[in-house]
């Protein structure tokens, strides 16, 4: 009697598994058609310039997609639970003589479950990819239409932006040239200062020997300082004028 009861339990589990598998098969076929019709309606809408509307708009298809996804996930969860119960049954005492046949049947149901799961995730992934792509294309089309509707204002703004950009580039080039000139001038003045120091040291040696030459050297030094102040002032004024022109 115990064997009969166990056999009945096993047959009930197999019956539940087959029923769920049939339901999943039908749901997956409908699910695949929904995804295909979604893509087709989007393609038709892009290519059709008439006022006709598809039988199902995209928002309705999105709701149907979400509903069917939940239903299929629930059926997959139920089928997984039935397979787990079948696996537990194969490990119960008294089924050792039938274990090979039971394991074969269980493996077949597991393979079917795996195939349905993979098919569901593949179809769902394709649908989400299509929807994401179409949403992106729709956003781009809206931007293009918006640009066309205000093309006059946008062209004027673009022209102003280009002019401002060119002005900034010219200012950058001018600043680079000014900095290059300043660096070259600094290096030249440093070199000249070294030479002047060398010459001055020699002249000071001669001046210490000849007082008349010393007076002449003092006058030369005063004139040199005056020339340095004038040169520094001219360089400073030129630099300020260049900066004002660059940032004007």
Looking at per-residue pLDDT, the higher value among 4 and 7 belongs to 7
Residue 51's φ and ψ, nearest 5 degrees, are: -95, 5
Residue 231 has pLDDT above 70, yes or no: yes
Nearest Cα residue to 71 out of 82, 79, 81:
79
Summarised one tens digit per residue, pLDDT across range 134-151 is 778 766 667 666 666 655
Across the chain, what does the average pLDDT equal? 77
pTM value > 0.85: no
CA gap 33, 67 in Å, rounded? 14
**DSSP structure class, residue 233:** H
3-state secondary structure at position 48: coil
User: Quick one: pLDDT band at residue 57, thresholds 50, 70, 90?
Assistant: low
Residue 29 CB contacts under 8 Å (≥ 6 apart), including other chains: none
Nearest Cα residue to 248 out of 182, 181, 174, 178:
174
Residue 4 has pLDDT above 70, yes or no: no
Looking at per-residue pLDDT, the higher value among 137 and 16 belongs to 16
Summarised one tens digit per residue, pLDDT across range 218-228 is 778 788 888 88
Domains by residue range for the chain, with CATH = 2-39+56-148 (1.20.58)
CA gap 13, 86 in Å, rounded? 7
CA gap 232, 201 in Å, rounded? 24
């Amino acid at each position: 009697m115990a064997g009969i009861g166990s056999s009945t339990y096993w047959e009930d589990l197999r019956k539940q598994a087959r029923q769920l598998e049939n339901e999943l098969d039908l749901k997956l076929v409908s699910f695949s058609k929904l995804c295909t019709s979604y893509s087709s309606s989007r393609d038709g809408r892009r290519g059709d310039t008439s006022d006709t509307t598809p039988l199902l708009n995209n928002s309705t298809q999105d709701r149907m997609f979400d509903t069917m996804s939940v239903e299929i996930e629930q059926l997959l969860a139920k089928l997984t639970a039935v397979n787990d119960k079948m696996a537990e049954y194969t490990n119960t005492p008294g089924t050792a003589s039938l274990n090979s046949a039971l394991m074969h049947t269980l493996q077949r149901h597991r393979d079917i479950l795996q195939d349905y799961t993979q098919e569901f995730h593949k179809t769902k992934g394709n649908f989400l990819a299509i929807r994401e792509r179409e949403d992106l294309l729709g956003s781009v089309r809206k931007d293009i239409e918006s640009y066309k509707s205000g093309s006059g204002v946008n062209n004027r703004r673009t022209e102003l932006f280009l002019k401002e950009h060119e002005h900034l580039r010219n200012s950058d080039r001018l600043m680079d040239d000014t900095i290059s000139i300043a660096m070259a001038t600094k290096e030249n003045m440093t070199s000249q200062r070294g030479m002047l120091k060398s010459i001055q040291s020699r002249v000071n040696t001669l001046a210490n020997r000849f007082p008349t030459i010393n007076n002449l050297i003092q006058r030369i030094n005063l004139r040199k300082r005056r020339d340095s102040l004038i040169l520094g002032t001219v360089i400073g004024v030129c630099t300020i004028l260049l900066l004002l022109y660059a940032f004007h």
